[in-house]
Structure 1
Amino acid sequence: MEVNFFKDLETEIKEKLKDFGYPIPSFAELRKQHISATEAHLSYKHYDIQNLVLHFLTVTERRIPIKKWNIHISPQLQNRTEIVDIVSMLSKGKDVNPFLSKQVKGQHQNKKTDLLRFEWGIYHIHFEEGGKGDEMLFVYFDGNEAYLLDILLHEKNGANHITWTNTDLIQILHDNWPHVIARAIFKTDSKETLTTEQRQILRNKAANTNVTVRDGTEYMPIGGGFSCSKHPQKAAENTLRMLKRTEELESMVLNNNNNNIKNLLLIDKSSKNIKIKLELTDGLNLKVINTANKSSFEIDEPY
């Protein structure tokens, strides 16, 4: 019986990156992004696929799900005609990912990163495809809801405006839809505040920070935060979960010690006609398939 779930996972991820229209980094390219690549590669047999999974889950975190969104518009955007086309696309379930920064496609996700998205959960959408143009629309997505916050200029060296650490974006969420971010409240009577300069320094050093709004409500990182390698914390954690689950599933198949697996193997496991394959669904669940009879079962464990 042929089983190689880690190779299947590699193939699935590369196919999905290809479907996105994004370049597929080689294992060698991914190793270059880590200082301890040589030591880690020698000590951990799944090191290369771990890097690929982390890259893929990071890219996925930066993409906007393609669905019909319920639109909520802040007072800051009332009568702003620039948003009409984006609103139409979001509400109709059209793909707005081409309007994201071109850095989303980058092979070096720990260098060409989006710490505002990972720390605060807020996306920035350009008004021109390919991430062109200085003005950007900032949006917070939650479930099926899209909260359009404000339009800000792209922050550049030497510019006198603040974009990536602009806490006014959190203030807008707090003022208009506090229930959406209530889960991230740390305390409601905080006196702690950071200057813009302090916040920029800490973020550049891969340090997550809380945000205190005007009434003293202090929020923890609404987007879940980022790791010391500047990948989203959620992606880093789910990479390890996905690898562990892949290993467990492969062991279950080889040892035939799980009821779902037993049902999948309807003919003798020694048959050379059986090929059990691992697939990654669009919802990022792991799915085990018997290619001989197309029977399958899905692990309802999204990443």
Structure 2
Amino acid sequence: MNSSLLIEKMDLYRDWLKIAKHRLTACGFDISQLVHDEEVSLEYFNVLLHLTIPIQPRQVFYADAFSCPPELQAGLLAFIERIESGRNLRPHMSRGVKKVANRDALRYDWGIHHFHLGATLAPDGFVTRTEPILFAWVAHNAVYMLGLYPHGAWSQQEVLQVLYRNWPALLSPYTIKGASLTHILTDQEVALARKAGVTVAFQVAEGVAVVPPGGGMPTSKHSFRAVRDSDKLHDNLDSMMEQLRDPTSAFMQEYERKGVFKKRTLSFSLVEHSDGYSLVEKHNNLYFKVGGIPSLPLPTMVVNH
């Protein structure tokens, strides 16, 4: 009869934080000012959700009133070529994406990116800055060109209205059904609400209101989506550790029945490899695939092409 299992102390969340720090550093972000674990996790998800765009080919669609001034046509064509050929869009993004704690209220609130349409690359790999700038909705396999706006038009609600007028299905998940707003915010009020960390609804058409399609921002000015995903991962890793510490849990009992725990002292840790994450039990040399943990692309996947 097998002896009782002895589970050594583990901290899967701490293991993941080490991985997150390595990824952020490898991607060129300075994390020296991130003192607390929660900050590391939040900024990891901020980078993943808002400062990087997965590299893959996408179709390009244009809003009904889209136009581009002649002096930016060359930059626009170069940007479109990048989109359709699946090249890195980072050179056209704000230089703020180089900063781990970059805050982008437009992305956080409305889920909209802004891009520069310079035609030449500067030494740091970014195209020359332009005015006006392109606002676009970036989906998994498409980019929806909304229009060109002055730099600083971050709270101009016309942008959301253009998105809804042309592609209402994109905002369908965020539409408040059967509701109308008693007060229609001005663009200035939208900016003030963001500054205060207040989440508000927006009218995109007569009788049509939406909650922030980007998720919005709490008073900390972080992205709600980053906060949510960070908290969810923490909870999931805590739950995983509870199962590993309990010899009677379904997970442990399944592998007990299979007889894989030849050595009865177990030591679990979380590791990252080329295609995801695994739990490693070092005494028995066991690996268990772990899903649900997003990976920040390493530099070989995010360099300019």
1:147 corresponds, among 144, 154, 157, to 144
In the other structure, the counterpart of 2:11 is 4
Which residues of structure 1 form unaligned runs of 5+?
A: 32-47, 156-162
- Choose 1 or 2 for highest CA Rg: 2
Distance in 2, matches of 1:170 and 1:164, equals 11
How far the C-alpha of 1:227 sits from its partner, in A, is: 1.2
Does the 8 Å contact 2:155/2:188 carry over to 1? no
Q: Distance in 1 between matches of 2:193 and 2:156?
A: 14
Which residue number corresponds to residue 80 of structure 2? 87
Q: Using a 3 Å threshold, how does the CA distance of structure 1 residues 76 and 286 change in structure 2: closer, same or farther?
A: farther
Give the secondary-structure state (helix, strand or coil) at the position aligned to 2:222.
Answer: coil
Q: Structure 2: how far apart are the matches of 1:198 and 1:49?
A: 34
Whole-Å Cα distance in 2 between the matches of residues 277 and 299 of structure 1?
A: 15
Identify the match of residue 64 of structure 2 among 75, 92, 111: 75
Cα pair distance change 1:83/1:230, threshold 3 Å: same
Quote the offset at 1:120 in angstroms.
Answer: 0.4
2:288 equivalent in structure 1: 296
Match of 1:168 among 152, 158, 162: 158
Mind listing any 5+ residue stretches in structure 2 that lack a counterpart?
1-7, 119-124, 296-305
Q: Is the partner of 1:194 in helix, strand or coil?
A: coil
2:301: which partner in 1? none
1:205 matched to 2:182? The reply is no
| TM-score for both structures, normalised by structure 1 | 0.77
Q: Map of 1:240-279 to 2, 5 A cutoff?
A: 240-261=231-252, 262-263=254-255, 266-270=260-264, 276-279=268-271
Equivalent residue for 2:224, pick from 227, 233, 243: 233
How large is the Cα RMSD of the aligned pairs?
Answer: 3.0
What is the DSSP-based 3-state SS (H/G/I as helix, E as strand, rest coil) of the residue aligned with 2:65? Answer: helix
Alpha-carbon deviations, 1:56-84, whole Å to 9, x = none? 11121212122222322223335763322
1:105 to 98, 104, 115: 98
Q: Which residue in 2 is equivalent to 1:34?
A: none
Which residue does the alignment assign to 1:64? 53
**Aligned with 1:15 (options 19, 22, 42):** 22
Q: In 2, distance between residues paired with 1:189 and 1:247?
A: 41
Give the TM-score of the pair, scaled to structure 2: 0.76
Question: How many pairs align?
Answer: 271
Q: Deviations over 1:184-243 (max 9, x none)?
A: 122565463222222222221112222213433222111111111011111112212111
Matched, 1:183 2:173: yes
